[in-house]
Amino acid sequence: MKQHEQFMTEAIAQAKLADASNEVPVGAVVVLDGQIIGRGFNQPISSQDPTAHAEVMALRDAAKNVNNYRLVDADLYVTIEPCTMCAGAIVHGRIKRVIYGAAEPKAGVVHSQQHIFKEPYFNHTVEVLAGVLAQQCSEVMQAFFQRRRDEKKALKLAQKHSSQS
């Protein structure tokens, strides 16, 4: 479990890069033979690319680093349960195992909304380990959304005061 926590800590560091860019703070790393071969964080807003989720960015980086779009025997560590798009990329990349931190009750498709990796129509099976450093992963997300709510509230208050002047 220590090794899982070590790699999830690296994914959390990636999530914090997303947060610093004002993106939803999700981070991911791809690990092969005990080494990180790919890193990624959410950047759909800054890159103007709806597919630039943390998982996809980490898969792209890993594939480039190993010169192969197939990442056989690699593990993907991600701070939040993957969405449908990312699950598809994980299957196509032939990731062996997904290790995620916190559940995503609205859009997560590994356990929350469905069990997509258990669907019989996929030609690849993905193992899953959930809940690694879940509390820390959740805290990063909660802090981000609390800050956004506070910023919106402050903006409304400032607009109210300026209109009264």
Residues carrying an active site annotation: 55
In angstroms, the CA 158 to CA 156 distance is 5
Q: Give the 3-state secondary structure of residue 140.
A: helix
Pairwise CA distance, residues 156 & 159, whole Å: 5
**CA-derived radius of gyration, the chain:** 17
CA dist 129 and 136 (Å) reads: 16
